[in-house]
Structure 1
Amino acid sequence: MAMTDEELFLASMGDVTPLAQDKKAQLRRIKNEPTISQLAKRKAAEQELEFDPNYLSTEYVDLLDPHDLLAFKKSGVQDGVYKNLRLGKYQIDATLDLHGKPFHEARQALFNFVTDCHTKSIRVLLIRHGIGLNSKPFPAVLKSYTSKWLQEIPQVLAFHSALKCHGGSGSTYVLLRKSDEKKQENRERHAKR
């Protein structure tokens, strides 16, 4: 008579001894906490939803020589006004020092400073960026980006490297356009009656 599958199994397992019971693996129930990668993805998604009003570029910039002079004037700025700015004849109303600041911190500081000065009707600024002889990985990185950023800000009418007494080629005079309030004041003051 043929053996059934169950009988065959029991016959083949006859010499097997059970394992000792004290060597059981301990299983713990893990709480449903997000993994590190899930947390990073959530944070990235939240940052994408936040609006960053700072439009200053972080893309490639043509690097300047550390001793280059910065000079920029939008069309419509009178030559005499630009000459006075270049010669440091205007009173400096506010100063920003970017020396030693990391790239992203300097970008944010410059944006906030210019925006704040324009809202407060401050017209002439001095930006101290340094010449960048020892900046890494290339010389004059911050100076080069400062020049690019100032050209991207619509409130900036003109800028020029400062005189030696104000920092020379490591500093820049900046002329901002008038705020809407100041424009209105001038219109009222010069209106024909």
Structure 2
Amino acid sequence: MQDDDLSLFQSAVRGVKPISHDRADTGKAKADRQRLNILRQAATLKTDSVTVDGLSDLFVIDVGAEDELYWARDGVQDSQLRKLKAGQVPFEGSLDLHGMSVEKAREILWDFFAEAAKMEVRCVRVTHGKAARKDGKRPLIKSHVNTWLRQHQQVLGFTSCLPKHGGAGAVYVLLKRTMMDGRDE
């Protein structure tokens, strides 16, 4: 009886070729890591063009070193900002403004956003630090970044990062993608 089973099996699998790999195809496309790395690197590069941002520094919102930042433009869904705050929107570029003058930080930040717009980046992290100043006043760069982001038309919202990404010393910034107008708001 076993010979019959074996011959039945052999006739059933005749012409079948063994699979050369042992991984199942889930149908989900793998992330293109090389493309993502190129986007991240390009988003952190400084461009040589001069950007006139038209922002006002006449009124800067002072924030404390440990204050959590959170802001959203009108029309941005609360669920998007909750995901951003929870770190569920991956950032594709990162900028560190530690130790810069206010003028230099502003220039670098706007160049960074211009590059992010070219690359259609959805979310970035901006590290502003939270060091208290020697004169006892609130953190200078953090306060300016908080004010500037509210004025920049490309910024849909921002929130302080998770501790592993800088906590109260950094923000996740949700950006409007220009080529996909209408989808982000």
Bucket of the pairwise TM-score, normalised by the shorter protein: 0.5 to 0.7
Specify the alignment match of 1:117 in structure 2: 116
Specify the alignment match of 1:149 in structure 2: 148
Specify the alignment match of 2:7 in structure 1: none
Are the aligned partners of 1:132 and 1:142 in contact in 2 as well (CA < 8 Å)? no
- Residues 135 and 144 from structure 1, CA distance in 2 versus in 1: closer, same or farther, beyond 3 angstroms? farther
Q: Percent identity?
A: 31
* Deviation, structure 1 residue 78: 1.2
Unpaired runs of 5+ in structure 2? 1-49
Specify the alignment match of 1:163 in structure 2: 162
| Whole-angstrom CA distance in 2 between matches of 1:109 and 1:158 | 19
> How does 1:1-193 map onto structure 2 within 5 Å?
53-134=52-133, 138-180=137-179, 182-183=180-181
- Residues 111 and 135 from structure 1, CA distance in 2 versus in 1: closer, same or farther, beyond 3 angstroms? farther
| Whole-angstrom CA distance in 2 between matches of 1:115 and 1:152 | 15
Are the aligned partners of 1:125 and 1:174 in contact in 2 as well (CA < 8 Å)? yes
| Whole-angstrom CA distance in 1 between matches of 2:181 and 2:151 | 22
- TM-score normalised per structure 2: 0.67
| Whole-angstrom CA distance in 2 between matches of 1:81 and 1:169 | 20
Deviations 1:98-141 (A, max 9, x none): 00001100010111111210121011000000012246572311
Are the aligned partners of 2:60 and 2:147 in contact in 1 as well (CA < 8 Å)? yes
Equivalent residue of 1:147, what SS? helix
- TM-score normalised per structure 1: 0.64
CA RMSD of aligned residues (A): 2.0
- Residues 89 and 112 from structure 1, CA distance in 2 versus in 1: closer, same or farther, beyond 3 angstroms? same
* Deviation, structure 1 residue 158: 0.6
* Deviation, structure 1 residue 59: 2.0
- Residues 115 and 136 from structure 1, CA distance in 2 versus in 1: closer, same or farther, beyond 3 angstroms? farther
| Whole-angstrom CA distance in 1 between matches of 2:163 and 2:99 | 20
Unpaired runs of 5+ in structure 1? 1-50, 187-193
Q: What code does the residue aligned with 2:107 have?
A: Q
